[in-house]
Structure 1
Amino acid sequence: MISKNLSLVKSKYGYYLIILAAALSALIHVISKPMLENSENLIEINPVVMAFLIYFIGGIFFTPVARKTSSISKFGKKDWLFMGAIGIAEVSALITYFYGLSTATAVNASIFSNSEIIFALVIGMMVFKERLHIKECIPFSMIIIGMMALPIGNDLYQNNFNLGHMVTGDLLIVLSGILYAIDITFCKYVGDKFDARRVTQIVSFICAGVAISLIVIFEIPMDVDVTQLPGILVMSILGTGMSTLFFLMALKMIGTVRTVLLYSTTAVFGVVFSGLFLAETITAIDIISLVLVLTGIFLLRNRLAGKDDHDVSADNEVIINESSHRSSVKRGKHKSKTPIPHRIREVVVFQGWIGAG
C-alpha cells in the first residue's frame, strides 16, 4: 500500500513538472520577440548576440548542476568532435530561429516549436532505413499540415502569395527545426556515454564560443539595454535551464511517452502567452493547426516510444505496445538486436536535454 501511494505521488509530481517545463519553455517565444524587433523604447538585439547571452548564462547555470557528473577529462577526441558538431548545429538553429522570429509572429513560432520532433523522426528513419506504417501516415500528415501547411499557407494568403517578411520568417523557423533535429541526432552519440547535464553544460559553452566568434568576425555590436537583462536571464535560467531539469525529472517519474507528449503542449502555452502578453491575434487557423499537431503527436506515440513503456501510476497500466521492428548489428559472429523505434525514441528524447529549442 505504501509503495502504491508513493507511486501515485511520484506520478502526480511528474505530470506537474513536465507541464511546468512546457510552460517555461514557451516563455522563450514570447520574451525574445519584442527584443528582436525595432522599437522606439527598446534597443533591437541582434539574434547572434541574443544567442550568445542565452548560452553563456545557461552554461554558468549548468556548471554547479553538472559538478557531480562525468569529469571533462573522460571525454576523448571523438567525443569533443561530436560536441563541436552539436554546438555548431545548435547555435545555428537558435540564431536562425531568432532571425525568423524577428519577422514572424510568436503564435506561428509556437506552432512550429514541435518541428524538431518530426524532423528528428525523419532523420532517424533515414539513418535506420525504417518506413512509416500505413496507420502512421495519417497522424504524420496531420502534423505536417497543422505545423507547416496551414500556418505558412495562411501567411501566404494574407500576403497575396508573396514571400514577404512574415513568410520568410516562418520558413526560417522551420529551417531552425531541421537544424535542431540534426543537433538531436548528434547528441544521441554522446548521450549514451555521458550525463545529460554535463553534455548540456559543455554544449552551452561551445555554443557561446561559436556565437562570440561570429560577433567578433562580423563586428556585430553588443547592443543590449539594461532593462532587457531580466528577460534574458528568465529565458536562460527558467526557459532553458529549469525547463530542461524539470523535463529530465519528469522523464524518470512518468516515462518517455507521456513526457514527450505533455512537453509538446509547449505550443499551446506559446500561443496562449502570445495572445496574453503580446496581444497577437489568435485565429481559427491557429487553433486548427494546434489541434492537428497535438492530435498527430498523440497518435504517433507508438513511434515515439518504440517499445512497452509502463505507467508508473498505481494501476501499472501499459501505455504503449512493443514495436515488432528490430535491427541486427553484426559484431563478429554475434548479433545484438535493438528495436529501431526505440533508438529513434532515444534521439527524440534529447530535444528536452539541450538548448532553448
Structure 2
Amino acid sequence: MNRFWGYLSIIMATLFFGISATFNKIMLQEMHPLPIAALTYTLAGVFLFSIRQSPIKERILDILNKKNKSENFISKRDYGILIITAISSSVIAPLLYLNGLSQTTAVNGSLLLNLEILFIIILSLILFDETFKKKDVIGIIFLVIGAVFLATKGEVDDLINSQTFTGSLLIIGAAVFWSIDIVLSKFLSNKRDLIWISGLKSSIGGISLLFITGFFMGLSLSLSLEILPFLLFVSIFSVGSAFILVYFAIREIGATRVGSIFPLSSLFGAFFAFIILNEPFGILEIILGLLMVGGVFILYWDPEKTKK
C-alpha cells in the first residue's frame, strides 16, 4: 500500500511541475527569469515554514511517516547534501530552465526534460555501481534522438544559429542539475521532517537567487497583480508541495523509479501549453514525444518480471 502512495505522490508532483511550465511561460512575458525564480523559491520556503509552524504540521508528518521507519536526526553530512541539492535544484536548475523557456516553447521545454532520466541513470551508474542492459542502450538512443530533433526541429544546418536550440540546450542543462537533486535526495528521503528539509531547500535557493537578483543584476522584483496567482501556484504546488511529494516518493519507491516516472511532467506540460497557451503541438512533437517516452519505458521495463 505504501508503494501505491509513493507512485501517487510522484504523479501528483509531475502534474504540478507540468503545469508550472505553462504558468512560467506566462510570467516570462512580463518579468525577467531571475526575479521569477527568486520569488518562486522564496515564497515556497515561506509557505513550507508557515506549515511547519502551524497546528497541521504533526498531522502531515504523521501521514508521511505512518508506516515507515524514518530518522529524526539530521547529521552534518545530511546538511551538506541538502546544500548541494538546494544549489542544484533551487538555484542553478531554475535559472537555466527559465532562461531556456524564454527562448523556446513550453511544449518543447516540457518534452526536453525527459532527458533527466538519462542523467539520473548515468549518475546512479557512477554513485551506486548500477549496470546497463542491452535494452537500456536502445532506450537511451531513443531519448537522445528525440531530444536532438526536438531541439533543432529537424533543421540540423541551423543548429548553431538557432535561438530555439540555445533555449533547448539550457533546458537540457537544467535537467542535469535536477537529476543531481533526485539522485542525492535518496540520502535525505528517510528523514521524518520532510517539511523542514523541503523548506530549507526552497529557502536556500530563494535567498541565493534574491541576492543574485538584487546585488549582482540590479533587477526589480515588482510584479503585476495579473501574474500573482500564477506565481503563488508555482511556489506553493510546483515547488513547495512537489519537494515533499518527491522526497516521500523516493522513500517509498526509490530514486530510479521516481526518475522514470518524472518525465510524465512533459506530457502534462505539453497538454497545458496546448490548452492554455495554444502553442503548436503537431505531428513532429507528437512523434518525438512518444519516442522519448518510449525510451523511458524501455529503460525501466523488466521483461523477466512480466514473465512471472
- Alpha-carbon offset, residue 216 of structure 1: 2.6
TM-score (normalised: structure 2):
0.80
What is residue 33 of structure 1 aligned with on the other side? Answer: 25
Which of structures 1 and 2 has the larger relative contact order (alpha carbons within 8 angstroms, sep 6+)? 2
* Preserved CA contact (<8 Å) 2:260 2:300: yes
Equivalent-residue separation in structure 1 for 2:275 and 2:224 (angstroms): 24
The 1:64/1:210 distance shift into structure 2, 3 A limit, reads: same
Equivalent-residue separation in structure 2 for 1:193 and 1:24 (angstroms): 23
Alignment of 1:152-167 (within 5 A): 152-154=151-153, 156-157=155-156, 160-167=158-165
Q: Percent same amino acid among aligned pairs?
A: 25
The 1:35/1:188 distance shift into structure 2, 3 A limit, reads: same
- Alpha-carbon offset, residue 121 of structure 1: 1.3
Residue 208 (1) aligns with residue 206 (2): yes
Residue 23 (1) aligns with residue 9 (2): no
The 1:244/1:264 distance shift into structure 2, 3 A limit, reads: same
- Alpha-carbon offset, residue 237 of structure 1: 1.4
1:170 alignment partner AA = S
Equivalent-residue separation in structure 2 for 1:99 and 1:29 (angstroms): 12
What is residue 296 of structure 2 aligned with on the other side? Answer: 297
What is residue 116 of structure 1 aligned with on the other side? Answer: 116
Residue 104 (1) aligns with residue 96 (2): no
Structure 1 unmatched ranges of 5 or more: 1-6, 38-43, 309-317, 322-357
- Alpha-carbon offset, residue 65 of structure 1: 4.6
1:276 alignment partner AA = I
What is residue 231 of structure 2 aligned with on the other side? Answer: 232
Secondary structure at the counterpart of residue 300 of structure 1: helix
2:138 alignment partner AA = I
Count of residue pairs the alignment pairs up: 289
What is residue 137 of structure 2 aligned with on the other side? Answer: 137
- Alpha-carbon offset, residue 196 of structure 1: 3.5
What is residue 265 of structure 2 aligned with on the other side? Answer: 266
- Alpha-carbon offset, residue 115 of structure 1: 2.4
- Alpha-carbon offset, residue 195 of structure 1: 4.2
2:174 alignment partner AA = S
2:279 alignment partner AA = E
Secondary structure at the counterpart of residue 292 of structure 1: helix
Secondary structure at the counterpart of residue 207 of structure 2: helix
What is residue 79 of structure 1 aligned with on the other side? Answer: 78
Equivalent-residue separation in structure 1 for 2:197 and 2:94 (angstroms): 17
TM-score (normalised: structure 1):
0.70
What is residue 284 of structure 2 aligned with on the other side? Answer: 285
What is residue 38 of structure 2 aligned with on the other side? Answer: 52
Q: Which structure is larger by alpha-carbon Rg, 1 or 2? A: 1
* Preserved CA contact (<8 Å) 2:104 2:168: yes
- Alpha-carbon offset, residue 45 of structure 1: 1.4
Equivalent-residue separation in structure 1 for 2:296 and 2:50 (angstroms): 35
1:205 alignment partner AA = S
Equivalent-residue separation in structure 2 for 1:299 and 1:26 (angstroms): 22
Equivalent-residue separation in structure 1 for 2:129 and 2:271 (angstroms): 38
1:216 alignment partner AA = G
2:79 alignment partner AA = W
* CA deviations over 1:94-153 (Å, ceiling 9, x no partner): 01100000111111101012322221211121234444222221112112222x112013
* CA deviations over 1:328-348 (Å, ceiling 9, x no partner): xxxxxxxxxxxxxxxxxxxxx
- Alpha-carbon offset, residue 221 of structure 1: 1.8
The 1:187/1:249 distance shift into structure 2, 3 A limit, reads: closer
The 1:167/1:155 distance shift into structure 2, 3 A limit, reads: farther
* Preserved CA contact (<8 Å) 1:301 1:320: no
* CA deviations over 1:21-49 (Å, ceiling 9, x no partner): 43222111101112213xxxxxx312221
* Preserved CA contact (<8 Å) 1:156 1:167: no
What is residue 343 of structure 1 aligned with on the other side? Answer: none
Residue 180 (1) aligns with residue 178 (2): yes
* Preserved CA contact (<8 Å) 2:22 2:272: yes
* Preserved CA contact (<8 Å) 2:39 2:210: no
Equivalent-residue separation in structure 2 for 1:251 and 1:320 (angstroms): 26
The 1:284/1:75 distance shift into structure 2, 3 A limit, reads: same
The 1:319/1:49 distance shift into structure 2, 3 A limit, reads: farther
* Preserved CA contact (<8 Å) 1:87 1:210: no
- Alpha-carbon offset, residue 203 of structure 1: 0.6
What is residue 168 of structure 2 aligned with on the other side? Answer: 170
- Alpha-carbon offset, residue 266 of structure 1: 1.5
The structure carrying a bigger helix percent of its residues is 2
- Alpha-carbon offset, residue 169 of structure 1: 0.5
Equivalent-residue separation in structure 2 for 1:156 and 1:51 (angstroms): 32
* Preserved CA contact (<8 Å) 2:117 2:296: no
The 1:194/1:118 distance shift into structure 2, 3 A limit, reads: farther
Equivalent-residue separation in structure 2 for 1:19 and 1:181 (angstroms): 17
Residue 62 (1) aligns with residue 48 (2): yes
